[in-house]
Amino acid sequence: MNNIFGVRIMDDYIRMCEDGVRQGWHERNGGNLTYRMRPEEVEECRPYFRKIPGEWVAMGVQADNLKGEYFISTGSGMFLANVSHEPQNSICIVEINEAGDSYRIVWGLENGGKPTSEFPTHFMNHSIRKEKTKGANRVIYHAHTPNVIALTFVLPLKAEVFTRMLWKSATECCVVFPGGVGVVPWMVPGGADIARATCKEMEKYDAAIWAFHGLFVSGPSFDIAFGLMHTIEKAAQITCIALSCTGGKPLRQTITDDNIRQIGKEFGVTLNEDVLNYGRDYIDEYADDFK
Ligand code: 13P
Ligand code: ZN
């Protein structure tokens, strides 16, 4: 191996960007991906780092448990479709300072640029998910998933209602995201406010929907994070198709709460009881709206 693209973690990161593009989730510069590197991965990449790193840049957010960490990040404004063709100009590796409040670019973005505008949100989500998973979480991924976005125009913007609908869209969904999915109302993207609002959801869930915008997921590996994004988006797609088929009438039948509990038991997963105890589906919520 004589360049950074022979390093396994870089190849896996680039492949995940390609996989997301293939799904149609990354129009133009839509979406972004960050990965918290293991120390040995940093050492594998270090020989290819810039001789002189970039300037330290304050992030407007701070995390004690990410001091001195290294992240691979997509560049702001860069097209994910270009990552596999021109990785050195589309992605970067950043180092976090010892105060945990600033980054500097140590590799990549050779034609200039900075990490994703959502870096404050990714960074704070990494902090929360690292803590909640005792260090296992490494990936934060944001995509513009069309069916999830479409559903935010239709369903009440409540985590319990979305989760119940998505769990009931296909039998194995509740096994893939037993903790449920959070929902963040519409907010201006790219700043500290949306970072804080998303973190509040990521304290409880490992995925959060951004109304009229897309989906944020986390995971210990590229496969698990991508699989979570894929499963939630597919569940939303099935929901959209079923709701369209009825022409606005209630669904004739669905997976019941008891069915969900049975699956949880058989598959040995701990389901979010708050979601089951909520007991109201989208149609019950609508009944109130139209009273
Ligand atoms: P970036 O190009 O800055 O990553 O922004 C894309 C995006 O999806 C913002 O939410
Ligand atoms: Zn976005």
Q: Could you report the per-residue pLDDT of 221-246, keeping only the tens digit for each?
A: 999 999 999 999 999 999 999 999 99
The mean pLDDT value for 103-108 works out to 98
Q: Copy the structure tokens of residue 1.
A: 């191996």
* CA angle at 121 for the pair 117 and 127, rounded to the nearest 5°: 135
Of 25, 27, 32, 145, the one to substitute when testing ligand 1's pocket (max ligand atoms within 8 A of C-beta) is 32
From the candidates 118, 160, 201, 233, which is the catalytic residue?
118
Closest atom of ligand 1 relative to the 213 alpha carbon: 10
Which pLDDT does position 1 carry in this prediction?
57
Residue with tokens 């989500």: 125
Q: Per-residue confidence at 284, pLDDT binned at 50, 70, 90?
A: confident
Q: Per-residue confidence at 96, pLDDT binned at 50, 70, 90?
A: very high
d(CA 115, CA 120): 10
Is the per-residue pLDDT at 291 higher than 80? no
Q: Is 201 a catalytic residue?
A: no
Closest CA to 117 of 158, 156, 148, 76: 76
Is the per-residue pLDDT at 249 higher than 90? no
List all residues 6 or more positions away from 248 whose beta carbon is below 8 Å from its beta carbon: none
Instruction: Look at 26 and 192; give whichever has higher pLDDT.
Output: 26
Q: Could you report the per-residue pLDDT of 20-53, keeping only the tens digit for each?
A: 999 999 999 999 999 999 999 999 999 999 999 9
Which pLDDT does position 290 carry in this prediction?
55
CA of 118 to the centre of ligand 1 (A): 6
Which pLDDT does position 247 carry in this prediction?
85
Record the pTM: 0.97
CA of 31 to the centre of ligand 2 (A): 5
CA of 105 to the centre of ligand 2 (A): 22
Closest atom of ligand 1 relative to the 74 alpha carbon: 4
- In the structure, which protein residues have their CB atom closer than 6 angstroms to any atom of ligand 1? 29-32, 74, 76-77, 116-118, 142, 189-190
The mean pLDDT value for 10-19 works out to 98
3-state secondary structure 32-97: EEEEECCHHHHHHHHHHCCCCCCCCEECCCCCHHHCCCEEEEEECCCCHHHCCCCHHHHEEEEEEC
The mean pLDDT value for 161-173 works out to 97
Q: Is the dihedral of CA 36, 200, 166, 133 positive or negative?
A: positive
Write the residue with the smallest CA distance to atom 10 of ligand 1. Answer: 189
d(CA 81, CA 27): 8
